[in-house]
Chain A
Amino acid sequence: MTYQIKLEVFEGPLDLLLHLIKKNEVNIYDIPISLIAQQYLDYIELMKDLNLEIAGEFLLMAATLIHIKSKMLLPQEETVSEEEEGEDPRAELVRRLLEYQRFKDAAEELGQREERWRDVFYHPHDITTEGEEEVMIEVGLFDLIDALREMIEKIPEKMSLEIIPEELTLRGRMTAVMERLDIAGPEGLTLWALLDKDTTRRAIVITFLALLELARVRFIKLLQVEGSGTVRVFRNEN
Protein backbone atom coordinates (compact mmCIF):
# COMPACT_ATOMS: atom_id res chain seq x y z
CA MET A 1 0.00 0.00 0.00
CA THR A 2 1.41 3.35 -0.95
CA TYR A 3 0.58 6.71 0.46
CA GLN A 4 0.36 9.87 -1.45
CA ILE A 5 2.63 12.02 0.63
CA LYS A 6 2.89 15.69 0.07
CA LEU A 7 6.22 16.74 1.41
CA GLU A 8 6.11 19.54 3.85
CA VAL A 9 9.11 20.69 5.71
CA PHE A 10 9.13 19.58 9.28
CA GLU A 11 11.32 21.02 11.86
CA GLY A 12 11.76 17.93 13.89
CA PRO A 13 10.32 14.55 14.77
CA LEU A 14 7.73 16.02 17.14
CA ASP A 15 6.50 18.35 14.45
CA LEU A 16 6.19 15.47 12.02
CA LEU A 17 4.34 13.33 14.56
CA LEU A 18 1.87 16.09 15.34
CA HIS A 19 1.26 16.49 11.65
CA LEU A 20 0.55 12.78 11.21
CA ILE A 21 -1.78 12.73 14.20
CA LYS A 22 -3.69 15.68 12.85
CA LYS A 23 -3.81 14.32 9.32
CA ASN A 24 -5.20 10.99 10.48
CA GLU A 25 -7.61 12.72 12.82
CA VAL A 26 -6.73 10.47 15.68
CA ASN A 27 -6.95 11.09 19.37
CA ILE A 28 -3.66 12.27 20.76
CA TYR A 29 -4.38 10.47 24.04
CA ASP A 30 -4.94 7.23 22.18
CA ILE A 31 -2.49 7.23 19.30
CA PRO A 32 -2.80 4.19 17.01
CA ILE A 33 0.88 3.62 17.30
CA SER A 34 1.38 1.12 14.49
CA LEU A 35 -0.36 3.35 11.95
CA ILE A 36 1.52 6.44 13.00
CA ALA A 37 4.84 4.63 13.29
CA GLN A 38 4.40 3.22 9.79
CA GLN A 39 3.63 6.60 8.29
CA TYR A 40 6.49 8.14 10.17
CA LEU A 41 8.91 5.59 8.74
CA ASP A 42 7.48 6.09 5.24
CA TYR A 43 8.14 9.73 5.64
CA ILE A 44 11.73 9.20 6.59
CA GLU A 45 12.10 6.86 3.63
CA LEU A 46 10.80 9.60 1.39
CA MET A 47 13.20 12.08 2.85
CA LYS A 48 15.99 9.64 2.07
CA ASP A 49 14.77 9.27 -1.52
CA LEU A 50 14.81 13.00 -1.87
CA ASN A 51 18.32 13.05 -0.51
CA LEU A 52 17.25 15.28 2.33
CA GLU A 53 19.54 15.30 5.24
CA ILE A 54 17.89 13.37 8.02
CA ALA A 55 18.83 14.61 11.42
CA GLY A 56 19.72 12.05 14.03
CA GLU A 57 16.70 13.11 16.05
CA PHE A 58 14.38 11.71 13.40
CA LEU A 59 16.00 8.31 13.65
CA LEU A 60 15.94 8.37 17.42
CA MET A 61 12.21 9.04 17.33
CA ALA A 62 11.73 6.20 14.85
CA ALA A 63 13.40 3.89 17.34
CA THR A 64 11.20 5.23 20.14
CA LEU A 65 8.06 4.61 18.10
CA ILE A 66 9.07 1.06 17.30
CA HIS A 67 9.89 0.49 20.93
CA ILE A 68 6.46 1.73 22.03
CA LYS A 69 4.82 -0.36 19.35
CA SER A 70 6.56 -3.53 20.53
CA LYS A 71 5.60 -2.80 24.10
CA MET A 72 2.01 -2.47 23.10
CA LEU A 73 2.08 -5.72 21.21
CA LEU A 74 3.03 -7.61 24.32
CA PRO A 75 -0.02 -9.31 25.74
CA GLN A 76 -1.49 -7.16 28.47
CA GLU A 77 -1.61 -8.99 31.70
CA GLU A 78 -5.23 -9.59 32.41
CA THR A 79 -5.38 -7.64 35.58
CA VAL A 80 -8.13 -7.98 38.07
CA SER A 81 -9.97 -4.80 37.32
CA GLU A 82 -10.00 -2.63 34.20
CA GLU A 83 -9.55 0.59 36.11
CA GLU A 84 -6.21 -0.48 37.40
CA GLU A 85 -4.25 0.30 34.27
CA GLY A 86 -0.52 0.10 34.07
CA GLU A 87 1.39 3.08 32.68
CA ASP A 88 0.58 3.45 29.02
CA PRO A 89 3.81 3.11 27.00
CA ARG A 90 2.67 6.10 24.98
CA ALA A 91 2.25 8.41 27.96
CA GLU A 92 5.68 10.00 27.87
CA LEU A 93 5.43 10.62 24.14
CA VAL A 94 2.00 12.21 24.51
CA ARG A 95 3.30 14.49 27.21
CA ARG A 96 6.17 15.61 24.99
CA LEU A 97 3.90 16.14 22.01
CA LEU A 98 1.51 18.30 23.98
CA GLU A 99 4.32 20.30 25.52
CA TYR A 100 5.75 20.89 22.09
CA GLN A 101 2.36 21.85 20.71
CA ARG A 102 2.00 24.53 23.38
CA PHE A 103 5.13 26.24 22.22
CA LYS A 104 4.27 25.77 18.60
CA ASP A 105 1.09 27.71 19.29
CA ALA A 106 2.98 30.32 21.26
CA ALA A 107 5.43 30.67 18.36
CA GLU A 108 2.56 31.18 15.99
CA GLU A 109 1.20 33.94 18.17
CA LEU A 110 4.60 35.57 18.24
CA GLY A 111 4.65 35.32 14.47
CA GLN A 112 1.35 37.17 14.27
CA ARG A 113 2.64 39.86 16.57
CA GLU A 114 5.75 40.13 14.44
CA GLU A 115 3.63 40.57 11.34
CA ARG A 116 1.76 43.45 12.93
CA TRP A 117 4.64 45.11 14.71
CA ARG A 118 7.17 45.07 11.93
CA ASP A 119 5.00 47.68 10.25
CA VAL A 120 5.10 49.94 13.26
CA PHE A 121 7.78 52.58 12.96
CA TYR A 122 9.15 55.14 15.32
CA HIS A 123 11.14 58.26 15.01
CA PRO A 124 14.75 57.33 14.47
CA HIS A 125 17.43 58.59 16.79
CA ASP A 126 18.76 61.25 14.49
CA ILE A 127 19.29 64.17 16.78
CA THR A 128 22.94 64.56 17.49
CA THR A 129 23.52 64.92 21.15
CA GLU A 130 26.66 65.54 23.08
CA GLY A 131 29.16 62.79 22.72
CA GLU A 132 27.56 61.56 19.55
CA GLU A 133 29.41 63.86 17.19
CA GLU A 134 31.61 61.13 15.82
CA VAL A 135 29.03 60.57 13.14
CA MET A 136 31.10 63.04 11.16
CA ILE A 137 34.76 62.37 10.86
CA GLU A 138 37.48 64.75 9.86
CA VAL A 139 38.56 64.44 6.32
CA GLY A 140 41.98 63.11 5.60
CA LEU A 141 44.17 64.67 2.96
CA PHE A 142 43.84 61.68 0.67
CA ASP A 143 40.06 61.91 0.71
CA LEU A 144 40.35 65.52 -0.37
CA ILE A 145 42.75 64.72 -3.13
CA ASP A 146 40.43 61.97 -4.32
CA ALA A 147 37.56 64.42 -4.40
CA LEU A 148 39.67 66.92 -6.28
CA ARG A 149 40.69 64.35 -8.86
CA GLU A 150 37.12 63.27 -9.41
CA MET A 151 36.07 66.85 -9.85
CA ILE A 152 38.76 67.54 -12.41
CA GLU A 153 37.91 64.40 -14.31
CA LYS A 154 34.37 65.61 -14.64
CA ILE A 155 35.33 68.72 -16.55
CA PRO A 156 34.58 68.37 -20.22
CA GLU A 157 37.87 68.46 -22.08
CA LYS A 158 36.89 71.26 -24.37
CA MET A 159 36.13 73.58 -21.51
CA SER A 160 39.52 73.13 -19.99
CA LEU A 161 41.08 74.58 -23.10
CA GLU A 162 39.17 77.82 -22.84
CA ILE A 163 40.92 80.88 -21.71
CA ILE A 164 39.52 82.44 -18.59
CA PRO A 165 39.22 86.17 -18.84
CA GLU A 166 38.58 86.78 -15.16
CA GLU A 167 41.37 87.14 -12.69
CA LEU A 168 41.43 84.39 -10.10
CA THR A 169 43.19 84.99 -6.88
CA LEU A 170 43.46 82.78 -3.88
CA ARG A 171 42.41 85.60 -1.57
CA GLY A 172 39.38 86.39 -3.71
CA ARG A 173 38.34 82.78 -3.73
CA MET A 174 38.73 82.45 0.03
CA THR A 175 36.39 85.38 0.53
CA ALA A 176 33.90 83.89 -1.90
CA VAL A 177 33.91 80.55 -0.11
CA MET A 178 33.33 82.20 3.26
CA GLU A 179 30.44 84.21 1.81
CA ARG A 180 28.78 81.12 0.43
CA LEU A 181 29.19 79.32 3.75
CA ASP A 182 27.61 82.25 5.56
CA ILE A 183 24.55 81.93 3.38
CA ALA A 184 24.44 78.17 3.78
CA GLY A 185 24.29 78.42 7.56
CA PRO A 186 25.00 75.63 10.03
CA GLU A 187 24.19 72.90 7.50
CA GLY A 188 27.33 73.77 5.57
CA LEU A 189 27.85 72.87 1.93
CA THR A 190 29.12 69.79 0.23
CA LEU A 191 32.41 69.98 -1.51
CA TRP A 192 30.61 69.35 -4.76
CA ALA A 193 28.30 72.27 -4.24
CA LEU A 194 31.22 74.56 -3.55
CA LEU A 195 33.10 73.52 -6.61
CA ASP A 196 30.22 73.32 -9.03
CA LYS A 197 30.62 76.85 -10.31
CA ASP A 198 34.15 76.14 -11.34
CA THR A 199 34.30 74.87 -14.86
CA THR A 200 37.98 74.86 -15.45
CA ARG A 201 40.78 72.93 -13.97
CA ARG A 202 42.46 76.08 -12.84
CA ALA A 203 39.36 77.39 -11.10
CA ILE A 204 38.86 74.11 -9.29
CA VAL A 205 42.43 74.00 -8.16
CA ILE A 206 42.25 77.54 -6.83
CA THR A 207 39.01 76.90 -4.94
CA PHE A 208 40.61 73.80 -3.57
CA LEU A 209 43.67 75.65 -2.38
CA ALA A 210 41.39 78.25 -0.85
CA LEU A 211 39.63 75.52 1.11
CA LEU A 212 42.90 74.07 2.31
CA GLU A 213 44.12 77.45 3.41
CA LEU A 214 40.85 78.23 5.21
CA ALA A 215 40.98 74.87 6.96
CA ARG A 216 44.57 75.47 7.98
CA VAL A 217 43.75 78.75 9.64
CA ARG A 218 40.64 77.08 11.11
CA PHE A 219 38.06 79.30 9.50
CA ILE A 220 36.31 76.24 8.20
CA LYS A 221 35.87 72.58 9.06
CA LEU A 222 35.95 69.81 6.53
CA LEU A 223 34.00 66.79 7.66
CA GLN A 224 32.97 63.59 6.05
CA VAL A 225 29.85 61.62 6.81
CA GLU A 226 31.13 58.33 8.08
CA GLY A 227 30.72 55.56 5.59
CA SER A 228 29.98 57.82 2.63
CA GLY A 229 32.56 59.75 0.70
CA THR A 230 30.69 63.02 0.82
CA VAL A 231 32.77 65.87 2.18
CA ARG A 232 30.92 68.72 3.83
CA VAL A 233 32.36 72.13 4.48
CA PHE A 234 31.30 74.08 7.56
CA ARG A 235 32.11 77.52 8.83
CA ASN A 236 33.98 77.23 12.08
CA GLU A 237 31.94 79.05 14.70
CA ASN A 238 34.65 79.57 17.27
Chain B
Amino acid sequence: MEDREIKGVIEALLFISGEPLSPDRIKNVLEEIDRGKIKSLLWELQQEYDMRLSGLRIVEVAGGFQIVTPPEVSQWVKKLKKIKQSARLTKPSLETLAIIAYKQPLVKAEIEDIRGVDSAGVIKGLLDKRFVKIIGRKDVPGRPILYATTKEFLQYFGLKDISDLPTLKEFNELAEEEGVGSLS
Protein backbone atom coordinates (compact mmCIF):
# COMPACT_ATOMS: atom_id res chain seq x y z
CA MET B 1 0.00 0.00 0.00
CA GLU B 2 1.23 3.45 -0.81
CA ASP B 3 1.39 6.15 1.83
CA ARG B 4 -1.28 8.09 0.02
CA GLU B 5 -3.66 5.16 0.23
CA ILE B 6 -2.92 4.45 3.87
CA LYS B 7 -3.53 8.09 4.65
CA GLY B 8 -6.86 7.84 2.88
CA VAL B 9 -7.85 4.86 4.99
CA ILE B 10 -6.80 6.63 8.19
CA GLU B 11 -8.80 9.67 7.18
CA ALA B 12 -11.87 7.50 6.56
CA LEU B 13 -11.48 5.81 9.94
CA LEU B 14 -11.18 9.16 11.70
CA PHE B 15 -14.25 10.42 9.90
CA ILE B 16 -16.41 7.48 10.82
CA SER B 17 -15.28 7.04 14.41
CA GLY B 18 -17.42 8.91 16.87
CA GLU B 19 -14.56 9.21 19.36
CA PRO B 20 -10.85 9.91 19.44
CA LEU B 21 -9.03 7.13 17.62
CA SER B 22 -5.67 6.06 19.01
CA PRO B 23 -2.85 4.93 16.69
CA ASP B 24 -3.22 1.50 18.29
CA ARG B 25 -6.81 1.19 17.26
CA ILE B 26 -5.94 2.27 13.76
CA LYS B 27 -3.25 -0.37 13.77
CA ASN B 28 -5.86 -2.99 14.65
CA VAL B 29 -7.52 -2.16 11.36
CA LEU B 30 -4.42 -1.56 9.24
CA GLU B 31 -2.62 -4.58 10.59
CA GLU B 32 0.34 -4.64 8.24
CA ILE B 33 1.29 -1.00 8.78
CA ASP B 34 3.55 -0.26 11.70
CA ARG B 35 2.50 2.04 14.46
CA GLY B 36 5.21 4.64 13.86
CA LYS B 37 4.11 4.98 10.27
CA ILE B 38 0.49 5.42 11.30
CA LYS B 39 1.48 8.14 13.71
CA SER B 40 3.54 10.08 11.23
CA LEU B 41 0.78 9.84 8.63
CA LEU B 42 -1.69 11.08 11.22
CA TRP B 43 0.47 14.12 11.81
CA GLU B 44 0.82 14.71 8.08
CA LEU B 45 -2.92 14.52 7.69
CA GLN B 46 -3.35 16.90 10.58
CA GLN B 47 -1.04 19.41 8.91
CA GLU B 48 -2.82 19.09 5.61
CA TYR B 49 -6.11 19.95 7.29
CA ASP B 50 -4.53 22.92 9.04
CA MET B 51 -3.06 24.28 5.84
CA ARG B 52 -6.22 23.78 3.84
CA LEU B 53 -8.07 25.95 6.39
CA SER B 54 -11.18 23.96 5.78
CA GLY B 55 -14.14 23.60 8.07
CA LEU B 56 -12.54 20.56 9.61
CA ARG B 57 -9.50 19.98 11.76
CA ILE B 58 -7.79 16.94 13.14
CA VAL B 59 -7.08 17.30 16.83
CA GLU B 60 -5.13 15.13 19.19
CA VAL B 61 -7.31 14.66 22.21
CA ALA B 62 -7.87 12.14 25.01
CA GLY B 63 -5.21 9.77 23.73
CA GLY B 64 -6.36 9.72 20.13
CA PHE B 65 -7.02 11.67 16.98
CA GLN B 66 -10.35 13.05 15.95
CA ILE B 67 -11.86 15.04 13.11
CA VAL B 68 -13.68 18.05 14.52
CA THR B 69 -15.19 21.33 13.45
CA PRO B 70 -13.20 24.32 14.73
CA PRO B 71 -14.80 27.03 16.90
CA GLU B 72 -14.79 29.46 13.94
CA VAL B 73 -17.62 27.56 12.30
CA SER B 74 -19.47 26.63 15.46
CA GLN B 75 -22.28 29.16 15.10
CA TRP B 76 -23.41 27.58 11.84
CA VAL B 77 -22.90 24.04 13.04
CA LYS B 78 -25.07 24.80 16.03
CA LYS B 79 -27.73 26.32 13.83
CA LEU B 80 -27.97 23.26 11.62
CA LYS B 81 -27.85 20.62 14.30
CA LYS B 82 -29.66 22.57 17.00
CA ILE B 83 -26.99 21.42 19.42
CA LYS B 84 -27.98 21.74 23.02
CA GLN B 85 -24.90 22.88 24.88
CA SER B 86 -24.69 22.07 28.52
CA ALA B 87 -24.11 24.96 30.86
CA ARG B 88 -20.53 25.91 31.52
CA LEU B 89 -18.97 24.50 34.63
CA THR B 90 -19.24 26.66 37.70
CA LYS B 91 -16.23 28.22 39.39
CA PRO B 92 -16.26 25.72 42.28
CA SER B 93 -16.44 22.85 39.78
CA LEU B 94 -13.53 24.15 37.73
CA GLU B 95 -11.50 24.73 40.85
CA THR B 96 -12.14 21.26 42.22
CA LEU B 97 -11.47 19.72 38.84
CA ALA B 98 -8.17 21.58 38.59
CA ILE B 99 -7.09 20.28 41.99
CA ILE B 100 -8.03 16.71 41.09
CA ALA B 101 -6.37 16.96 37.69
CA TYR B 102 -3.04 18.14 39.08
CA LYS B 103 -2.93 16.12 42.27
CA GLN B 104 -4.59 12.87 41.30
CA PRO B 105 -5.15 10.42 42.75
CA LEU B 106 -6.30 12.16 45.87
CA VAL B 107 -8.97 12.05 48.57
CA LYS B 108 -11.71 14.52 49.41
CA ALA B 109 -9.90 15.86 52.49
CA GLU B 110 -6.96 16.94 50.33
CA ILE B 111 -9.28 18.84 48.02
CA GLU B 112 -10.98 20.53 50.94
CA ASP B 113 -7.65 21.43 52.49
CA ILE B 114 -6.73 23.43 49.43
CA ARG B 115 -10.11 24.96 48.78
CA GLY B 116 -10.90 25.68 52.39
CA VAL B 117 -14.53 24.68 51.91
CA ASP B 118 -16.66 21.56 51.97
CA SER B 119 -16.47 19.96 48.55
CA ALA B 120 -18.68 16.88 48.75
CA GLY B 121 -21.44 18.34 46.59
CA VAL B 122 -19.06 19.61 43.92
CA ILE B 123 -17.30 16.25 43.72
CA LYS B 124 -20.60 14.48 43.32
CA GLY B 125 -21.54 16.80 40.48
CA LEU B 126 -18.24 16.05 38.75
CA LEU B 127 -18.80 12.33 39.19
CA ASP B 128 -22.25 12.67 37.64
CA LYS B 129 -20.81 14.57 34.69
CA ARG B 130 -18.20 11.80 34.35
CA PHE B 131 -15.29 14.21 34.54
CA VAL B 132 -14.13 12.47 37.69
CA LYS B 133 -14.09 8.82 38.69
CA ILE B 134 -13.38 6.78 41.78
CA ILE B 135 -10.24 4.74 41.31
CA GLY B 136 -9.97 3.02 44.64
CA ARG B 137 -9.36 3.67 48.31
CA LYS B 138 -6.35 5.10 50.04
CA ASP B 139 -4.58 2.73 52.34
CA VAL B 140 -4.91 4.85 55.45
CA PRO B 141 -7.31 4.63 58.40
CA GLY B 142 -10.86 5.09 57.22
CA ARG B 143 -9.84 3.99 53.74
CA PRO B 144 -11.07 7.18 52.04
CA ILE B 145 -12.06 7.17 48.37
CA LEU B 146 -9.45 8.19 45.80
CA TYR B 147 -10.51 10.37 42.89
CA ALA B 148 -8.99 10.88 39.45
CA THR B 149 -10.02 12.53 36.20
CA THR B 150 -11.49 10.65 33.24
CA LYS B 151 -11.14 10.44 29.48
CA GLU B 152 -14.25 12.59 29.21
CA PHE B 153 -12.42 15.26 31.16
CA LEU B 154 -9.58 15.23 28.62
CA GLN B 155 -12.01 15.35 25.75
CA TYR B 156 -14.08 18.18 27.20
CA PHE B 157 -11.05 20.38 27.72
CA GLY B 158 -9.27 19.32 24.55
CA LEU B 159 -6.29 17.75 26.30
CA LYS B 160 -4.13 15.02 24.79
CA ASP B 161 -3.41 13.49 28.15
CA ILE B 162 -2.95 14.64 31.68
CA SER B 163 0.60 15.86 31.07
CA ASP B 164 -0.85 18.23 28.49
CA LEU B 165 -2.10 20.43 31.34
CA PRO B 166 -0.08 23.63 31.71
CA THR B 167 2.39 23.44 34.56
CA LEU B 168 1.30 25.01 37.78
CA LYS B 169 2.84 28.35 38.55
CA GLU B 170 5.48 28.65 41.21
CA PHE B 171 4.65 30.59 44.31
CA ASN B 172 6.85 33.64 43.72
CA GLU B 173 5.82 33.81 40.09
CA LEU B 174 2.25 33.89 41.31
CA ALA B 175 2.73 36.58 43.83
CA GLU B 176 4.13 38.88 41.19
CA GLU B 177 1.70 38.13 38.39
CA GLU B 178 -1.40 38.24 40.43
CA GLY B 179 -0.53 41.55 41.98
CA VAL B 180 -1.07 40.04 45.38
CA GLY B 181 2.16 41.68 46.44
CA SER B 182 5.71 40.74 45.73
CA LEU B 183 8.63 39.33 47.52
CA SER B 184 10.18 42.02 49.58
Contact = CB atoms under 8 A, between A and B. Distances in A.
Interface of A: 11-15, 18, 21-22, 25-30, 55, 57, 61, 96-111, 113-127
Q: From DSSP, what is the main secondary structure of chain A's interface residues?
A: helix
Contacts of A57: 116-118
A15 B116 CA distance: 9
B116 A102 contact: no
A113 B171 CA distance: 23
Contact of B118 (A26, A29, A55, A103): A55
Contact of A22 (B67, B171, B180): B180
Contacts of A100: 114-116
Interface string B72-116: 001001000101010011011011011101100000000000111
B36 interface: no
A121 B57 CA distance: 10
11 contacts: A57-B117, A98-B174, A100-B116, A102-B174, A106-B165, A106-B166, A109-B98, A110-B101, A110-B157, A114-B157, A120-B71
Contact of B88 (A12, A61, A115): A115
Contacts of B77: 121
B142 interface: no
Interface stretch (B15-23, B25-33, B39-47, B133-141): B15-23
Contacts of B175: 28-29, 98
Interface of B: 15-19, 59, 66-71, 74, 77, 81, 83, 85, 88-89, 91-92, 94-95, 97-99, 101-102, 114-118, 156-159, 165-166, 168-169, 171, 174-175, 178-184
A157 B179 CA distance: 78
Given A11-B115, A118-B85, A123-B67, A110 B180 contact: no
A122 B69 contact: yes
A198 B154 CA distance: 54
